[in-house]
């Protein structure tokens, strides 16, 4: 069936060898890259979202989300060690499940990266507003710092940071490994200080009731807090820029995920124990939906009375420190988020260009998207297009809804990766696997089951966005990608049957020395 045409692993490796990116990253740098991508809006902001869904039980939510990510990361590790090229889940699925599935995965990854960038921008906005108010006494009007779902008009700070990041990407400013390591060190230092200040004042009564909304609330919170972990797959997108990727990519994936899991559990315990994390209910005792206008109105009413519940905060961790008497350090943590979160927006948008790069290399996206700026030597058109979409979402949608929408695409991609590993174990047993997923026939099904479960516990609107987005993607595929595909046209596989190198101009050929690379 032509829709299932496959680009073999050998062809993918040969294409990447011909058009490879500069390999500069080691295991330590990849670990820092993963930590830098993971620690962002998820823990700085979505702690409040998780508390509204699960109360103190959000600690279990962190464990559940971590488990699903861990089994997915083990699958990622095997594939990235076998196929150390850019493209992540898109590339793997192209080689095993065929072009149609690969297109859907690539399209889902666009949803993941672009919407995630919007979510991080909105998260940054909350810390920016709090920092201005508590440190400088400057109060930004509520209507100009919140979208319609939160009772405002437009989130101007989020729009501002999006414009800034887009400009940096077009001009060609890059994060060096040293700069990224510095940002990671700052974030870890700030979170370590948070743990050290909150754990000694933990009040065990704040953990009761532990499951105010039952087990369903815990899983629902896990489906949202999943966003706090998904940055780890950015490590696999850097495989083509990694030294000894067969060894270093699995190390970077697993170690960054493990380190962040420990931090998240300690941070959530400190936040809950210090000031409590009970959800807000309506007059009938029903839980208020995070990101809803009803919750925003109740939070405004409580704020007028001088009450500031964790579930209402857009700068949750800074709020906790202020509430327990460490106002200046709370402001300092807000400053840390203010400085560090834009780098996550940059990483997300940069990851988006990696996906576009590989899909363009395969002929599935128009050549115009891979045009290079004559002066800055950057993919400016695709940056503008992606950036405008990110900016629009950040301007009008709340962080929780954005995170849930991003999760819907991510969970689909992770599920496909797990299927891919298992299918390859059957179809290509003899291929060298520098890293083998342990007990794959247990880990693989657990990853699939975990992704499906979390998807069905997402809010209805987030679940609805994914099939609509996929439908739009299928229309685009059949109008363009289906006819222009290099595999379909035989560009990669001539009549003789031997793989040859695609002649597509890649997105990043203009700077082989590593300029304008994420790291």
CA–CA gap between residue 394 and residue 302 (Å, rounded)? 26
Say what the pLDDT of residue 68 is.
93
Residue 57 has a pLDDT of 92
Q: For residue 502, is it within any domain?
A: no
- How high is the pLDDT of residue 110? 81
Nearest to 460 by CA among 220, 258, 190, 211: 220
Beta carbons of 322 and 130 less than 8 angstroms apart = no
Q: Is the model more confident about 256 or about 183?
A: 256
pLDDT of residue 500: 27
Q: Which pLDDT score is estimated for 409?
A: 87
| pLDDT at res. 237 | 60
Angle at 377 (CA atoms; ends 372, 381), nearest 5 degrees: 35
Residue 265 has pLDDT above 50, yes or no: yes
Of 379 and 84, the structure prediction assigns the larger pLDDT to 379
Confidence at residue 200, expressed as pLDDT on a 0 to 100 scale: 92
Q: What are the b/e assignments for 304-341, b being 16+ CB within 10 Å?
A: eeeeebbbbbbbbbbbbbbbbebeebbbbbbbbbbebb
Would you say residue 208 lies in a domain? yes
Q: What is the pLDDT of residue 517?
A: 39
Q: Examine residue 74 and state whether it is found in any structural domain, yes or no.
A: yes
- From the list 199, 198, 196, the residue with the least C-alpha distance to 188 is 196
> Looking at residue 442, what is its pLDDT?
95
pLDDT average, residue stretch 31-53: 78
Residue 342 in domain: yes
Quote the number of domains for the chain. 1
Does 160 or 169 have the greater pLDDT score?
A: 160
70 vs 496: CA distance, rounded Å: 42
Residue 182 confidence (pLDDT): 75
Q: For residue 204, what are the domain limits?
A: 28-281+289-489
Q: Does the structure show a pLDDT above 60 at 354?
A: yes
pLDDT band at 4 (very low <50, low <70, confident <90, very high): low
Question: Does residue 6 lie in a domain region?
Answer: no
Q: What is the Cα–Cα distance from 364 to 499, expressed in whole angstroms?
A: 18
Confidence band of 472 (pLDDT split at 50, 70, 90): very high
Structure-model confidence comparison of residues 204 and 491, the more confident one: 204
Which pLDDT score is estimated for 7?
67
pLDDT at 197: 93
DSSP-derived 3-state class of residue 452: helix
pLDDT at 304 over 80: yes
| pLDDT of the residue at 177 | 52
**Interval 405-444: pLDDT, tens:** 888 888 998 999 999 899 989 988 888 787 788 899 999 9
Q: For residue 10, is it within any domain?
A: no
Within-domain flag for 330? yes
Q: Which residues contact 148 (CB under 8 A, 6 or more apart)?
A: 396
- Helix, strand and coil content of the chain, in percent to the nearest 5, comes to 70, 0, 25
The 3-state DSSP class for residue 420 equals helix
Cα gap 78→94, rounded to integer Å: 16
Lowest-pLDDT choice from 189-198, 320-329, 345-354: 345-354
Residue 457: HSE in the Cβ half-sphere, 13 Å Cα cutoff: 24
- For residue 495, the model assigns a pLDDT of 34
Is the per-residue pLDDT at 1 higher than 50?
Answer: no
Q: Lowest-pLDDT range, 91-105, 119-133, 155-169, 228-242?
A: 228-242
pLDDT at site 90: 82
Q: Which of 27-36, 60-69, 416-425 has the lowest mean pLDDT?
A: 27-36
CATH at 56: 1.20.1740.10
* Domain assignment of residue 15, yes or no: no
Mean pLDDT, the chain, whole residue set: 79
Q: What is the predicted pLDDT for the residue at 11?
A: 67
Residue-level pLDDT at 15: 56
Task: Count other C-beta atoms under 10 Å from residue 243's C-beta.
Answer: 13
**514: which DSSP letter?**
S
Question: If you compute the radius of gyration of the chain from its CA atoms, what whole number of angstroms results?
Answer: 22
Instruction: Residue 329: name the closest of 274, 277, 279 by CA.
Output: 274
Who has greater pLDDT, 184 or 73?
73
Name the DSSP class of 201. Answer: G
Reported as a single tens digit per residue, the pLDDT across 374-383 is 877 777 787 8
């Amino acid at each position: 069936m032509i829709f299932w045409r496959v680009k073999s692993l050998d062809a993918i490796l040969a294409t990447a060898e011909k058009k490879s990116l500069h390999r500069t990253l080691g295991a330590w740098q990849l670990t820092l890259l993963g930590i830098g991508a993971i620690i962002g809006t998820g823990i700085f902001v979505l702690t409040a979202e998780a508390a509204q869904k699960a109360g103190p039980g959000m600690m279990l939510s962190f464990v559940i989300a971590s488990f699903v990510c861990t089994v997915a990361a083990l699958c990622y590790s095997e594939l990235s060690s076998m196929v150390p090229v850019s493209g992540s889940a898109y590339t793997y699925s192209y080689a095993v499940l065929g072009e149609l599935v690969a297109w859907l995965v690539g399209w889902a990854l666009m949803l993941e990266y672009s919407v995630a960038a919007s979510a991080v921008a909105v998260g940054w906005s909350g810390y920016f507003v709090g920092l201005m108010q508590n440190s400088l006494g400057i109060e930004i009007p509520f209507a100009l710092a919140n979208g319609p779902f939160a009772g405002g008009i437009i989130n101007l700070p989020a729009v501002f940071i999006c414009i800034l990041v887009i400009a940096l990407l077009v001009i060609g400013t890059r994060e060096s490994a040293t700069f990224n390591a510095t940002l990671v060190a700052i974030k870890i230092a700030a979170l370590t200080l948070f743990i050290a200040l909150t754990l000694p004042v933990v009040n065990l009564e704040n953990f009761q009731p532990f499951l105010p909304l039952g087990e369903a609330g815990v899983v629902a919170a896990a489906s949202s807090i999943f966003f706090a972990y998904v940055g780890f797959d950015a490590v696999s997108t850097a495989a083509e820029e990694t030294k000894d990727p067969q060894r270093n990519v699995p190390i970077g994936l697993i170690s960054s995920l493990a380190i962040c899991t420990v931090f998240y559990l300690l941070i959530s315990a400190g936040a809950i124990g210090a000031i409590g994390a009970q959800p807000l209910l309506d007059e009938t005792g029903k839980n208020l939906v995070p990101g809803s206008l009803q919750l925003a109105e109740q939070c405004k009413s409580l704020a007028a009375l001088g009450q500031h519940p964790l579930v209402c905060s857009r700068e949750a961790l800074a709020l906790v420190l202020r509430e327990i008497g460490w106002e200046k350090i709370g402001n300092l943590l807000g400053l840390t988020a203010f400085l560090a979160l834009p780098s996550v927006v940059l990483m997300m948008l940069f990851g988006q260009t990696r996906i576009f790069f590989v899909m363009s290399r395969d002929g599935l996206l128009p050549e115009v998207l891979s045009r290079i700026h004559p002066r800055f030597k950057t993919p400016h058109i695709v940056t503008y297009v992606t950036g405008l979409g990110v900016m629009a979402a950040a301007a009008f949608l709340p962080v929780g809804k954005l995170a849930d929408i991003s999760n819907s695409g991510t969970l689909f991609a992770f599920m496909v990766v797990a299927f891919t590993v298992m299918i390859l174990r059957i179809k290509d047993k003899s291929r060298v696997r520098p890293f083998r997923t342990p007990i794959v026939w247990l880990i693989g099904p657990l990853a699939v089951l975990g992704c499906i479960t979390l998807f069905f516990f997402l809010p209805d609107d987030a679940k609805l966005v994914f099939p609509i987005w996929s439908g739009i993607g299928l229309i685009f595929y059949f109008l363009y990608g289906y006819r222009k595909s290099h595999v379909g046209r035989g560009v990669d596989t001539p009549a003789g049957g031997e793989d040859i190198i695609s002649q597509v101009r890649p997105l990043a050929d203009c700077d082989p020395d590593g300029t304008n690379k994420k790291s």
